[in-house]
Amino acid sequence: MPLIPRTDLTVSDLCLGGNVFGWTADEATSFAILDRYLDATPSTLAPFVDTAEMYGDGTSERILGSWMAARGVRDQVVVATKASPGRKEHPLSAAEVRTAAERSLRNLRTDVIDLYYAHYDDETTPLEETLTVFDELVRAGKVRHVAASNYSAVRLTEALGTAERVGVTGYVALQTHYNLVERPAFEDGLRDVVTDAGIGVLPYFALAKGFLTGKYRPGEQVDSPRAQGAAAYVGERGDRVLAALAEVAQEQGVPVPAVALRWLADQPAVVSPIASGRSVEQLADLLPMQDLVLSDDQRSRLTDASA
């Protein structure tokens, strides 16, 4: 049962990425995706949706807010959003964070954000200033918990130490790029930091821009705005990973993407992988990960294939 450390937020095994809302999924399709995700989430867990102020310049947040209002489910959903850089000169300055938080609250039609991220590190603003304004938002009841996204091991360590030294709310989670074919950046540094600090990890690009769905093969054309990014993984190692995924998926009787997500969810410190679908059909391939149990042998085969 996934629990974000240092919080009382017990969330779904799959965090639904809202980056597609208003981009590759129009509002009606987004509502359908959210409805299916809500229905598929076990009653003991909270549906967990991730968005950001920069996704569609607020469109993603507004669609999510409209859906929660229309369905009357705000109290059931754990909502994560981010203070994003955009065209801001100092995106994590106190003034910019206050403004961003108020905008997100309006877009989401809510009084409180459950998990509020610093979307990207901002070395032009002192960490103490950023952490202090985040603490201010928590104390004001506008944000429940704060987290970091796209921080290096060095800067995350510094941020955690700064929060402790100043006596303000610290980061409870890290959102970072991590999946079966993108491992060293997290495993060779960040993993030790989050493990030692006892904070949770929410990996994005959990399916490697779609590559780990198994759709991308040499010479094949895939209709997706992420096709070029996914194509970067095509090659000997990528083929080895896809072969291992296909083998385990066949053994388990589930879609390939569900196996890739389950492997990721089973890694140390990971709370919930973040993945999105631009249709209900795509989402259907992800949902079985919630009930999937990999054997030690299956997990080891996947790990070895991606080494």
Give the span between the Cα atoms of 18 and 24, in whole angstroms.
10
Confirm whether 114 is domain-assigned. Answer: yes
C-alpha distances out from residue 17 to 36, 165, 204, 242, 267, Å: 14, 34, 8, 23, 19
Residue with the two structure tokens 């030692």: 196
CATH number at residue 176: 3.20.20.100
Residue with the two structure tokens 């941020």: 159
Confirm whether 25 is domain-assigned. Answer: yes
Confirm whether 291 is domain-assigned. Answer: no
55 is catalytic: yes
Average pLDDT, the chain: 96
Residue 230: pLDDT band with limits 50, 70, 90: confident
Query: Which pTM was predicted?
Result: 0.95
Q: What is the pLDDT of residues 267-285, one digit of tens each?
A: 999 999 999 999 999 999 9
Residue 256: pLDDT band with limits 50, 70, 90: very high
What is the residue range of 193's domain? 11-208+268-278
Residue 223: pLDDT band with limits 50, 70, 90: low
Q: What is the pLDDT of residues 94-146, one digit of tens each?
A: 999 999 999 999 999 999 999 999 999 999 999 999 999 999 999 999 999 99
Confirm whether 52 is domain-assigned. Answer: yes
| Count of beta carbons in the 10 Å neighbourhood of residue 141 | 9
pLDDT, average across residues 254-267: 98
Confirm whether 107 is domain-assigned. Answer: yes
Give the span between the Cα atoms of 114 and 48, in whole angstroms.
10
Domains: count for the chain: 1
Confirm whether 79 is domain-assigned. Answer: yes
Contact (Cβ atoms closer than 8 angstroms) between residue 68 and residue 109 = yes
Q: What tokens does 215 get?
A: 């759709």
Confirm whether 214 is domain-assigned. Answer: no
Confirm whether 283 is domain-assigned. Answer: no
Q: Annotated catalytic residue: which of 37, 55, 117, 204?
A: 55
Residue with the two structure tokens 């042998």: 297
